């Protein structure tokens, strides 16, 4: 499929979920991967107990898996919440409380890329009020991440997240620009999820040509089904080759459903030598 020269990491919040959280890093390493990413693992706890943070840190280190991406708290994922930073009241406060905890945890493992999901529209709340709150919280997160880190902004897809206002590449990059203007740090970047963009019906070749230079992380799954490459209609090998031609040399996160079997069997499309970070 033309995946040579691509650096892959595996998302342990959608793959290997048949295992307890602390067993997933070792399972990913046994499958050949040396780099992983995570959604915030504690969906009900933006500030978990120190012992839980320490246990996950130890599991990642013991497995020999580098953490290369971490989501901030966003409520229940997968599920209806889809972000907290634009939700007035308690959820916004929970996001703010999570930011220094997530940054400290990620930094302790060498992670410098942090993803902030925008959040859904809420009935009875002025969208402009939500957008102002979101910008305030994103700027807070960008400052916590620091000039030597990256705050990631991604577009979700309208069919699966109809109340999320960020459902196109141009809109996500508009938010990136707003955050950078607010902080002056220039550390916000686009997270290009090819599955979400394809679900929105976007021209992926055009998106890649237009926004590769603004992109700091890429995620993939095939469409339809959000399963492994080769199970759907997307030419993911060609798209990744186009990204490389446009200068992208970062990680590509595997963020797909494993199918009916164990996650360890969901990587037959990817030769073992290409699974380890190079």
Q: What is the pTM of this model?
A: 0.96
pLDDT value at residue 123: 87
Let me know: does 187 contact 152? Beta carbons within 8 Å.
no
Answer for the pair 210, 165: CB distance below 8 angstroms, yes or no: no
Alpha helices, H only, 193-273: 194-199, 204-211, 236-245
CB atoms within 10 A of CB 276: 13
CB contact at 8 A, 98 and 73: yes
- Can you tell me the distance from the alpha carbon of 43 to that of 241, in angstroms, rounded to the nearest whole number? 35
The residue from 37, 91, 154, 202 that is catalytic is 154
pLDDT of residue 80: 55
Q: What is the per-residue pLDDT for 87?
A: 79
**How far apart are the C-alpha atoms of 51 and 59, rounded to whole Å?**
12
> Judging by beta carbons within 10 Å of its beta carbon (0-12, 13-18, 19+), is residue 227 exposed, middle or buried?
middle
Instruction: Let me know if 154 is a catalytic residue.
Output: yes
Where are the chain's structural domains? 7-270
pLDDT at 109 over 80: yes
Q: Say which of 37, 91, 202, 255 is annotated catalytic.
A: 255
pLDDT tens across 179-235, in order? 999 999 999 999 999 999 999 999 999 999 999 999 999 999 999 999 999 999 999
Above pLDDT 90, what percent of the chain?
86
Per-residue pLDDT reduced to its tens digit, 40-89: 999 999 999 999 999 999 999 999 999 999 999 998 665 555 667 887 88
Average pLDDT, stretch 168-189?
98
**Residue-wise pLDDT tens digits, 7-24:** 999 999 999 999 999 999
Is 224:160 a contact under the CB 8 Å cutoff? no
Residues 32, 75 contacting (CB under 8 angstroms) = no
Round the average pLDDT of the chain to a whole number and report it: 94
Q: In the numeric block, which tokens belong to residue 276?
A: 């380890």
pLDDT of 278 strictly over 90: no
CATH number assigned to the domain with residue range 7-270, chosen from the 4 options 3.90.380.10, 3.40.190.10, 3.20.20.150, 1.20.140.10: 3.20.20.150
Q: Is the dihedral of CA 221, 141, 68, 208 positive or negative?
A: positive
Give residue-wise pLDDT tens across range 116-156. 999 888 888 899 999 999 999 999 999 999 999 999 999 99
Tell me the three state secondary structure of residue 153: strand
């Amino acid at each position: 499929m033309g995946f040579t020269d691509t650096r892959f990491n595996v998302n342990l919040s959608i793959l290997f979920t048949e295992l307890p959280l602390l067993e997933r890093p070792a399972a990913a390493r046994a499958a050949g991967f040396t780099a992983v990413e995570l959604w915030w693992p504690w969906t009900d706890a933006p500030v978990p107990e120190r012992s839980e943070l320490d246990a996950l840190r130890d599991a990642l280190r013991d497995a020999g898996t580098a953490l290369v991406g971490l989501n901030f708290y966003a409520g229940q994922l997968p599920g209806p919440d889809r972000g907290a930073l634009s939700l007035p009241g308690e959820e916004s406060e929970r996001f703010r409380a999570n930011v220094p905890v997530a940054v400290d945890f990620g930094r302790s493992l060498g992670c410098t890329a942090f993803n902030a999901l925008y959040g859904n529209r809420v009935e009875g709340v002025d969208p402009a009020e939500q957008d102002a709150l979101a910008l305030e919280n994103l700027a807070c997160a960008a400052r916590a991440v620091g000039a030597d880190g990256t705050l990631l902004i991604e577009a979700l897809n309208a069919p699966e997240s109809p109340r999320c206002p960020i459902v196109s590449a141009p809109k996500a990059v508009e938010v990136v620009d707003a955050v950078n203007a607010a902080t002056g740090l220039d550390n916000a970047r686009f997270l290009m999820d090819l599955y979400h963009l394809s679900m929105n019906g976007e021209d992926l070749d055009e998106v890649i040509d237009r926004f590769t230079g603004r992109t700091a992380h890429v995620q993939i799954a095939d469409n339809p089904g959000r399963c492994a490459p080769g199970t759907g209609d997307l030419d993911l090998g060609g798209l990744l080759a186009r990204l490389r031609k446009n200068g992208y040399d970062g990680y590509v996160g595997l963020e797909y459903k494993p199918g009916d079997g164990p996650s360890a069997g969901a990587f037959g499309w990817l030769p073992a030598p290409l699974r380890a970070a190079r």
